[in-house]
Amino acid sequence: RIAIELAYDGSAYSGWQIQPGQLSIQEKIQESLGRLLGRETKVTGCGRTDTGVHALHYMAHIDIEQSELH
């Protein structure tokens, strides 16, 4: 398990959590990590935010296999 500390401007987003037909922070982070790791990667956040909310020191985590760290 790897902890990720984030800060973001949520002005253009519908909040943290993925929602059908809406752009979310979680979706963008998962897309970026998927490109980086070469596989679909689920990100779990410490909570939810509303539309347009910004965050400082927001915590999330991903679970990866140790072999992926090399």
**Which residues are designated catalytic?**
50
Half-sphere exposure of residue 40: CA atoms within 13 angstroms, side-chain side: 2
CA dihedral 2, 53, 21, 40 (to 10 degrees): -10
